A and B are shown apart, each in its own frame.
Chain A
Amino acid sequence: MIACRDITFRYPGAEAPLFDGLDVTIDKPGFHALFGPSGVGKTTLAKIISGDIDNFTGQVEAIGGMRCLYTYNRERLPGWSSVGRHLEKTTPPGRQLLRDEFINHFGLAKLMGMRYSQLSMGQCNRVNLLRYLLQDFSILIMDESLANVDEPTRQTILYKIKSIFPKAGFLYISHNVVEVARFCDQIVVFRGAHQSPQTCRINGQDHREDRPLDKTALERSMLEIMHAA
């Protein structure tokens, strides 16, 4: 699904490269995660995969036929129209029913007449993620896209995404180890620029709404993630 080979990247002015021959592979569609402490390069790798950063060496292959989109939690909607009007204008033809379904599941129905600036941070995050989910993509990178959303709503949203997009690839960037271990299939743990290898891959529980959760396996995944980091 995503193969990054021998990626080397240094920010202009930085003393040392952030990535030095980094290899990361996600071999199947599904809900996966990039995990690690702040500053290790999760967002940078996400931008390299999505094409937002192109001054790196190495190879990136993102398979799926459609584009790879990157969304992050500080994005804003223009202030000149309501949230509902904006979503109407940015929904591709034929996706109106999907949009309405998402609006209900994301708990946004009452906010459609409001301006983006009137929303809480969690509501902003949900609206922003919703408009990306309506676009054409084969891989969607969600950089702390649900950072300010309460846990039950976050859970509902993640279950919904997994059920609606079984063939798409998601890369979820989060600092919440429980959430990542529970909902994600493959977790790429970043270990910092000075450690070798720079990343390692842990299997998560990939939990879905219709499956029971194995709490022991979840704890094991969490321990593995923490040990790897």
Chain B
Amino acid sequence: MLHRRVFQFFIVYLLGIGLLFGIKLALNLSDYVIPGPTGVWHTGQAEFSRYMGDVLDTFAVAVIGQVLSILMALGVGVAGRRATWFGSFIKVAAYNVQAYPIVAIAPILFILLGDGFLTRLFIAAMICYFPLLLSVIGIMSEPVVDIEHFYRVTGRLRWQLEVKIRAFENLHKLTTVISGSATLAMAGTIVAEFIAANAGIGYSIRIALYQSDLSKILVALFIIGITLSLYQGILELLGAGLKKAWAAG
């Protein structure tokens, strides 16, 4: 699972960078527009440690934001699973808010909260919260009739048991959604840093952009990709382990 994720990333990254070098060769572009392989390699050697620190900084914010989103989505999703007015309200609100590009309100947050840790965290959490919430609500509001019937007719179906049954039956979906939301959290944090923050890999990419240094951007993308692939692979492994442990009692 883990090695497959990393392998897939390498293929995509190499294809992308190969395409860039192909364009450079085909159009005879200068190193200023698209640097050559040696230029990228030298930049990688020079900037790897600093960019790695930046990526880990961004990653830490993304993980905290994702964990907060998961907790909020589980809480609200469980509360909104019923066909009550509250459940319907939560669903409609989630669908509507999710349809709005959250990143568009990022400048407001920067104005109100400044360009520090809290703003990055808030944007990361908000970007991955609504898709997570929709998935959790979808899973939690769908009865597993063939299992729940017995508990319902014998008066044993408490909400905790209902949630447990639905979570267990949809564990694969839940872990896939959580694993996928890691990308959203990371993207949210980088976007926040890119817009106005003063730390993280998004901030470094912004500086590289102002310097028109594509090598630095390619090195940053490589470290972001490898970190995210490892993290998603670990999440998937954890999900599979959890299911195995749960099923083994």
Contact = CB atoms under 8 A, between A and B. Distances in A.
A199 interface: no
A115 interface: yes
A214 B138 CA distance: 57
A79 interface: yes
A6 to B, nearest CB: 26
Contacts of A96: none
Interface string A105-131: 000000000010000000000001001
Interface string B46-89: 00000000000000000000000000000000000000000000
A85 B249 contact: yes
Interface in B18-61: none
B11 interface: no
Nearest to B168: A80
Contacts of B156: 90
Contacts of A77: 147
Interface string A48-91: 00101000000000000001011110111111111001000010
Contacts of B159: none
A104 interface: no
A82 B249 contact: yes
Contacts of A70: 153
The A interface, classified by DSSP as helix, strand, loop or mixed, is loop
B111 to A, nearest CB: 48
A159 interface: no
Contacts of B146: 74-76
Interface of A: 50, 52, 67, 69-72, 74-82, 85, 90, 115, 128, 131-132, 135
A79 B247 contact: yes
A93 B83 CA distance: 34
A115 B249 CA distance: 10
B7 interface: no
Contacts of A85: 249
Given A50-B153, A70-B153, A135-B154, A81 B249 contact: yes
A125 to B, nearest CB: 13
Contacts of A80: 164, 168, 246-247, 249
B149 interface: yes
Contacts of A67: 153
B165 A78 contact: yes
29 contacts: A50-B153, A52-B153, A69-B153, A69-B154, A70-B153, A71-B149, A71-B150, A72-B149, A74-B146, A75-B146, A75-B147, A75-B149, A76-B146, A76-B147, A77-B147, A78-B147, A78-B164, A78-B165, A78-B168, A79-B168, A79-B169, A79-B247, A80-B164, A80-B168, A80-B246, A80-B247, A80-B249, A90-B156, A128-B150
A228 B208 CA distance: 86
A132 B152 CA distance: 12
Contacts of B246: 80
Interface in B222-249: 246-247, 249
B247 A75 contact: no
Nearest to A70: B153
